[in-house]
Homo-oligomer: A and B are copies of this chain.
Amino acid sequence: MSGSSQIYRSSTTAPVNIAVIKYWGKRDTALNLPTNSSLSLTLSQKSLRAHTTASCSESFTSPDSLILNGEKEDIQSSKRTQACLKNLRSLREKLEAKDGSLPKLSKLTLRLVSANNFPTAAGLASSAAGFAALVRAIADLYELPQSPEELSIIARQGSGSACRSLMGGFVAWRAGTKEDGSDSLAEEVAPVSHWPEMRALVLVVSAEKKGVSSTAGMQTTVETSTLARARFSEIVPRRMKEIEKAIHEKDFETFARITMQDSNSFHAICLDSWPPIHYMNDVSRAAMNAVETANRKAGKLICAYTFDAGPNAVIYYLEEHTHQAAGVFKSILPRIPGWEGEFGEMIRPNEFGSLEQKSLMTLKAGVSRVICTGVGGGPEKIEEHLVDEKGIAVPHE
């Protein structure tokens, strides 16, 4: 390794996104093409973000490498990562072919270093933020002119939902119909500034063990659920239209109802799979119950639960209902970590009304931490690099 070779670096942060219309089912497993469109909110990077530095240099010995949270990852045998790298290199090659003065970065070994600002143990899907950051950082390193929509086609091949983390605000992933996946990409439905009052409270539930992996679970559902077909072909397309309209009109009640219904629909087709798949547990159901109680007390829908492939609850609400929605949980769970920070401190504890004792005890026993956040922007280019000027990975904190 020659220390004198130039080190090219670019760093970015990328957000987590939590879907309100769920992605569950692939029509093509190699290209990560989904059975249905989906829609998510990008969450603020103050709370949750992946930070990735892409670097390359003639001094780096092959092969390409990735260090994730201080651990070396095996990216050579990861088809998904290889697909992303190949696509990005190919775009760089085209630039270099057009402009001979450009350094031939496409020929250099990539050294990638990534770190999340949240514990992996929290059970939050970090792969979306991770692949979005990886694609964005390399695209920046290569100075690619492609738009986030175009890059989302590449990120999608890393991890389906990663395509939605390349943009901020309210993001749709259009399923597309083409066999090569060239129309299966993410689009901004509305920017953060359209509805910046949207908040999210994550209840982190300690699960005894990780359930079925998303990739395996999705295939089981596609192959065996007799109820799923209607979801893919009719129910989700209708809901996509309805929730996009609700977002454009800032109609929280419709947004909330569809969000909850679609989460339930997703878990219903999981239960209808063979063998059946369970992600929610009694703690999840106690959280649903608390949301229903808060909505009943308010006389309208002021908060909405949604559950991904795990027991954690994500609860969306508007800033004006912070007290009535998130305050209930702060009152029930005052001493668990996560209430600090900009979004959390403003939440005043609020009596939980008629929530039944059993749900109360289940939440107290089962929720290990909260994350207080809100809708946020897309990836950001930053100058804090995880690879130093000599090309060495900065030690993980």
Contacts and interface: CB of A to CB of B under 8 A. Distances in A.
Contacts of A358: 208-209
B227 A269 contact: yes
Nearest to A296: B275
A268 interface: yes
Q: By CB atoms of chain B within 10 A, which of A209, A227, A260, A356 has the most?
A: A227
A270 to B, nearest CB: 8
A379 to B, nearest CB: 35
Contacts of A235: 226-227
Interface stretch (A60-68, A147-155, A280-288): A280-288
A265 interface: yes
A276 interface: yes
A27 interface: no
Q: By CB atoms of chain B within 10 A, which of A226, A257, A281 has the most?
A: A226
A141 B229 CA distance: 52
A231 interface: yes
A356 B275 contact: no
Interface string A260-282: 11001101110110111010011
Contact of A282 (B264, B268, B276, B282): B282
A278 B282 CA distance: 10
A276 B306 CA distance: 13
Contacts of A261: 226, 272, 274
A356 B209 contact: yes
A292 interface: yes
Name A's interface SS.
helix
Nearest to A292: B275
A271 B284 CA distance: 13
A261 B285 CA distance: 22
Interface in A203-239: 208-209, 226-227, 229-231, 234-235
B276 A271 contact: no
A276 B289 CA distance: 10
A56 B356 CA distance: 47
A264 B281 contact: no
A268 B229 CA distance: 14
Contacts of A208: 356, 358
Interface of A: 208-209, 226-227, 229-231, 234-235, 257, 260-261, 264-265, 267-269, 271-272, 274-276, 278, 281-282, 285, 288, 292, 356, 358
Given A226-B261, A227-B269, A257-B274, 17 more contacts: A208-B358, A209-B358, A226-B231, A226-B235, A227-B230, A227-B231, A227-B265, A229-B230, A264-B272, A264-B274, A265-B272, A267-B271, A268-B271, A268-B272, A275-B292, A281-B285, A282-B282
Top 6 closest pairs, chain A to chain B, by CB: A268-B268, A268-B272, A208-B358, A282-B282, A227-B227, A268-B271
